[in-house]
Amino acid sequence: MLDTISFSQKQRLAYIDFSLLFKGVIYRQDVINRFEVGLSAATRDLNIYKELAPDNLHYDARERRYFQTPQFKPVFEHDARRTLTKLANDISDGFDAIGDIHFPVESPSSLNVPDIFIVARLVQAILNNKAVNVIYTSLSSGSGSRELVPHAIVDNGLRWHVRAFDRKTQSFRDFVLTRISKVTIKDSPEQQEQAQADAEWQRLIPLQLVPHPKNVEHPTAIEMDYGMENSQLLIQVRAAMAGYLLRRWNVDCTERGTLKGAEYQLWLQNRFTLNNVDNLAIAPGYGKGGNR
């Protein structure tokens, strides 16, 4: 049936498929607003989708919207890498599943790609403000059941993780997506388990990055690379993300810029701002010659 459908209608069907997979729900008005089509056209698209996959959705007349069913299986194949990038940039279309335009731009290959269905369940839980039960395999304790309250999916530069309140330790933590093998959506969280209570997530800290004082012979090149003004780049980051960013960009976090090597082209000039930030064990040189 898909072979006889126009490209523009495939786009709308892919959008319906994407919304059901990641949001668990779709309104007829969503299709109307996204594609600027009329009510009859949106209704026709949803009916065609239901013909293609009758077990994927059910209509709730009271709420006037379609819900994902427990038997849901996507009609289109959503590429994990592209979909994660789109989710990170708030692009919810699913067009890559129907052969979207491929731009001649490449990025380094990722060694670990999360299961797209695990991501979808977590995104649903976040959007609907629900807790989840997961099977998680950690390096220290192996596989086990955990109850989490997720509030963000994050790319830390090397891998994807979910930021969540862990009911076992009663704290907010990061959980690697590829180590989650099952997700079951549960109850609504308590107030102290939600994103607003995640102090490290809510707290913004300034990072003052400058060309490395010892490793860079021509600092102007580094200033151009990062669009620096007055020989510095000042950015605000979440405290929970600071360590990841500093590691990703190989920022020397020693007190006097003493790390050697061509990979250290940036130095953190205002190191004192990192006081009382939790995840800095991974920041290059942070434990050397300073207040930790």
- Which has the higher per-residue pLDDT, 135 or 156? 135
| CA gap 17, 31 in Å, rounded | 11
Q: What is the mean pLDDT of the chain?
A: 88
How much is the pLDDT for 90? Answer: 63
Which tens digit of pLDDT belongs to each residue from 86-122? Answer: 777 666 666 666 554 344 444 455 667 888 899 999 9
Which tens digit of pLDDT belongs to each residue from 200-247? Answer: 999 999 999 999 999 999 999 999 999 999 999 999 999 999 999 999
| CA gap 205, 213 in Å, rounded | 23
Q: What are the structural domain ranges in the chain?
A: 2-98, 116-197, 203-282
CA distances from 199 to 189, 209, 282 (A): 17, 24, 20
| CA gap 69, 72 in Å, rounded | 5
| Domain 116-197 top-level CATH class | mainly beta
How much is the pLDDT for 83? Answer: 78
| Domain 2-98 top-level CATH class | mainly alpha
Which of 158, 185, 163, 169 lies closest to 282, judged by CA? 158
Which tens digit of pLDDT belongs to each residue from 34-43? Answer: 899 999 999 9
Read out DSSP for 152-193? EEEE-SSSEEEEEEETTTTEEEEEEGGGEEEEEE--PPPGGG
How many helices (H) and strands (E) in the chain? 8, 12
pLDDT of 291 strictly over 50: no
How much is the pLDDT for 102? Answer: 42
How much is the pLDDT for 100? Answer: 47
Q: Residue 194: how many CA atoms within 13 Å on its side-chain side?
A: 12
Residue with tokens 């729900």, as numbered in its chain = 25
What sign does the CA torsion over 242, 246, 251, 256 have? positive
Would strands 25-26 and 204-211 be described as parallel, antiparallel, or unpaired? unpaired
- Which has the higher per-residue pLDDT, 39 or 288? 39
Q: What is the mean pLDDT of residues 249-264?
A: 94
Q: Residue 224: how many CA atoms within 13 Å on its side-chain side?
A: 4
Instruction: Report how far Cα 51 is from the mean position of its chain's Cα atoms.
Output: 32
Which tens digit of pLDDT belongs to each residue from 27-61? Answer: 999 999 989 999 999 999 999 999 999 999 999 99
Which tens digit of pLDDT belongs to each residue from 181-199? Answer: 999 999 999 999 999 999 9
Which tens digit of pLDDT belongs to each residue from 274-284? Answer: 887 877 888 99
What sign does the CA torsion over 223, 226, 229, 231 have? negative
| CA gap 99, 263 in Å, rounded | 38
